[in-house]
């Protein structure tokens, strides 16, 4: 079932990585910070940029660095590797639309307001919007994180509007 009409009235927005974090990563890489690696993409679907929410294309350079998707000070605090384009890119703007390039291969984790993970689902034959809406049906869900279903890396956040 296509949910195009449903999407228009969705109660969530996609929140990409902030431009401040992306710019800080670029500065750190320029200063040769040891935990910021500059890598040249060699696959069309291996290097997702968390700022523009597009896959980096082969020969594009990306920065690989650790990001605290769940901030320190909580039982579920978590820092993990993410990519951003090494060159400045446009932050994802269509915030009420699910990013087209990540319709497959994502897992969704629901967290409550205390940053505790309370549910999780993978997109398994359904539309990602339907999975997100289901997680948001729980009034305790404060936000949802999309992650790679294979490598587990944080991709973007989803918040209630």
Judged by beta carbon, residue 85 or residue 145, the one nearer Zn ion is 85
Q: Applying CB under 5 A, which part among 35-43, 78-86, 122-130, 149-157 lies near Zn ion?
A: 78-86
Tokens of 54: 């597009």
The residue count of the chain comes to: 161
Q: DSSP string of 112-146? A: -TTS-EEEEEE-SSS-HHHHHHHHHHSTT--EEEE
Binding residue for Zn ion (CB under 5 A) from 85, 106, 109, 145?
85
Binding mask 88-117 toward Zn ion (x if CB under 5 A, else -) reads: -x----------------------------
The C-alpha atoms of residue 122 and residue 145 are separated, in whole angstroms, by 11
Q: Does 26 bind Zn ion (CB under 5 A)?
A: no
Q: Applying CB under 5 A, which part among 6-14, 39-47, 83-91, 115-123 lies near Zn ion?
A: 83-91
Q: How many CA atoms lie within 13 A of 45 on its CB side?
A: 10
Nearest to 156 by CA among 54, 50, 85, 66: 50
Q: Applying CB under 5 A, which part among 44-52, 75-83, 109-117, 121-129 lies near Zn ion?
A: 44-52
Tokens of 92: 């994802």
Binding residue for Zn ion (CB under 5 A) from 52, 64, 69, 135?
52
Stated as kind and residue range, the H or E segment containing 22 is helix 19-30
Binding residue for Zn ion (CB under 5 A) from 26, 36, 51, 147?
51
Q: Which residues bind Zn ion (CB under 5 A)?
A: 49, 51-52, 85, 89
């Amino acid at each position: 079932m296509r949910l195009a009409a449903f999407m228009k009235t969705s109660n969530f927005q996609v929140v990409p990585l902030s431009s401040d974090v992306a710019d800080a990563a670029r500065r750190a890489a320029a200063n040769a910070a040891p935990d910021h690696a500059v890598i040249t993409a060699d696959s069309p679907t291996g290097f997702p940029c968390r700022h523009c929410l597009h896959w980096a294309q082969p020969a594009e350079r990306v920065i690989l660095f650790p990001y605290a998707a769940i901030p320190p000070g909580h039982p579920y605090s978590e820092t993990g590797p993410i990519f951003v384009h090494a060159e400045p890119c446009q932050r994802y703007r269509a915030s009420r639309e699910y990013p087209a390039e990540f319709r497959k291969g994502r897992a969704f984790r629901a967290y409550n307001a205390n940053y505790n993970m309370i549910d999780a689902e993978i997109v398994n034959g359904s539309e990602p919007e339907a999975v997100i809406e289901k997680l948001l049906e729980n009034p305790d869900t404060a936000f949802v994180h999309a992650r790679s279903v294979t490598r587990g890396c944080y991709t973007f956040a989803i918040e209630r509007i």
